[in-house]
Chains A and B, each alone.
Chain A
């Protein structure tokens, strides 16, 4: 028997809310949950009185921790939703948000930004996300065009075009890295981005991407019945009443935009978009009306906690969260796969 959707989604939403509050307390300076509730009540509660309470803790919480925790949740939701969409569309369990070349495009964009920027991290900071976003979207469009040029966007064409474009862009990035000496100086900033890490400079930057991510996650949901039908293949889905060409275009656009937005906040974080939808599908079944919102919440939850861990295990130093998502997610995924014993993937 499969769990009830309403129960699953309420539990996940509750877990995300509680986790955000708890994770906000973790870091170089630990803030107990009681204080967090106090500060939030002061800030947003009835008769709000900003400025009351302990000023240092309040500043850390409101200006550093909360934006970061919210960013982690949004990035996790975006990547997991994009992964669920692409796995459903491509009918391929290996599909992740980067399968259509978005990661290589974003990485090349970030490399170019690092090269182009004047010395100094401050100047580079805005340019990396901007060019990463442009790179991701540009690559997705290119892959789609190439797949279509080679005769109708069949799924195989899309995957092959994605792989080919990916290879070329990675080579171009490596070329830039190896020929330009200026990069040696700024390598750290670039690598920090490539390894993936939630680095938001307060609420302003978040305000740029948050509405987009939330809107796209919401837009993905009405596509769920079509995604379910696509399990029968594209021709099978057409027999079930799906306008395959339009649906495919919408799905790719939503997934590419979500990935690009996530990448601008966090750099390249692997594994979330691959593992979270799979893990949830094993437990909840492949029905997308449940799977899509569950993936968004599950991705938020997963990244909230891996990011909290990244901040605390080596405190005061920080690990790139992209390293942790692989370290934590990989074994967990293998555990689930072992439990499912072959009944999960059927191809």
Chain B
């Protein structure tokens, strides 16, 4: 079953950046990493998928229906987004932040139901935040904050989860923790996940399928071993690299070569 389908989409910002995608589909249950240099269109692709940007041409289908024509609450029950960075203007507790994920289920005149409370507690558990639930969101570290927003997204009980560089600004332990959590959610709950990231090696370790975006177009799409090859990395990122199997997992591991130093094979 197709969870997300982007078909012949064209989008242009007034400043001139254009994104053109012939076809990009995500099947239910997939775990997809979107890679690409800064400004390549990763975030724009996510926003188009989430329906907060409307394509100039083409269609974006969520569970087979045009995402821009669905009511936002309907979209938010199917799809949740974890933005790059979240700041809150007032001192919300972690549990209150996670409860925001129940907004698409809110009734006009009633407070939270038992199902709402249950969903919030489950999301807190999945994100490993039970002990921090009553802390103020502002007091959390960057990694804990990102987990709180992940929990908020999980409280929406979506089938598709989109994350925009969830590991940016995090130290290595938190990066791995978050990405492994995502993999766990994908494996145990069958949650469909699409996340953008900069880190080629972590991406190769975690995601089943990688999509490489460059200059507003999809340059490669497939398993890590097919996408992460030195020629393509050089063409996309402009960096010379060696790709070797990861010593323990066998996943492709990208080693950056410094400029001006001869690579061994020449």
> Interface residues, chain A, CB within 8 Å of chain B?
1-2, 91-93, 221-222, 225-226, 228-229, 231-233, 235-244, 281, 285-287, 289, 343-347
Contact B89 A346 (CB under 8 A): yes
Contact A287 B101 (CB under 8 A): no
User: A239-B80, A239-B81 are contacts. A346–B100 as well, Cβ < 8 Å?
Assistant: no
Per-position binary interface string of chain B over residues 61-99, scored 1 when its CB falls under 8 Å from any chain A CB and 0 otherwise: 000000000011111110011010011111111001000
Answer whether residue B109 sits at the interface, using C-beta atoms and an 8 A cutoff: yes
Instruction: Compute the total of residue contacts between A and B using a CB distance below 8 Å.
Output: 92
Contact B87 A235 (CB under 8 A): no
8 tightest Cβ-Cβ pairs between the two chains A and B: A241-B104, A346-B138, A241-B76, A241-B73, A286-B90, A225-B106, A91-B89, A239-B81
Answer whether residue B111 sits at the interface, using C-beta atoms and an 8 A cutoff: yes
**Residue in B87, B104, B106, B109 with the greatest tally of chain A CB atoms within 10 Å:** B106
Contact B106 A347 (CB under 8 A): no
Can you list 29 A-B contacts (CB < 8 A)? A92-B89, A221-B109, A225-B106, A226-B103, A229-B100, A231-B89, A231-B92, A231-B100, A232-B83, A233-B87, A236-B83, A240-B101, A240-B103, A241-B72, A241-B73, A241-B77, A241-B103, A241-B104, A243-B73, A285-B91, A285-B93, A286-B90, A286-B92, A286-B96, A345-B89, A345-B90, A346-B89, A346-B136, A347-B89
Nearest B residue to A286 via CB reads B90
Docked CA distance A221–B76 (Å): 22
Answer whether residue B207 sits at the interface, using C-beta atoms and an 8 A cutoff: no
Docked CA distance A233–B89 (Å): 9
Q: Which residues of A contact B75 (CB under 8 A)?
A: 241
User: A285-B91, A286-B91 are contacts. A343–B106 as well, Cβ < 8 Å?
Assistant: no
> Contacting A343 at CB < 8 Å: which of B77, B83, B87, B136?
B136
Docked CA distance A293–B77 (Å): 28
Q: Which residues of A contact B104 (CB under 8 A)?
A: 240-241
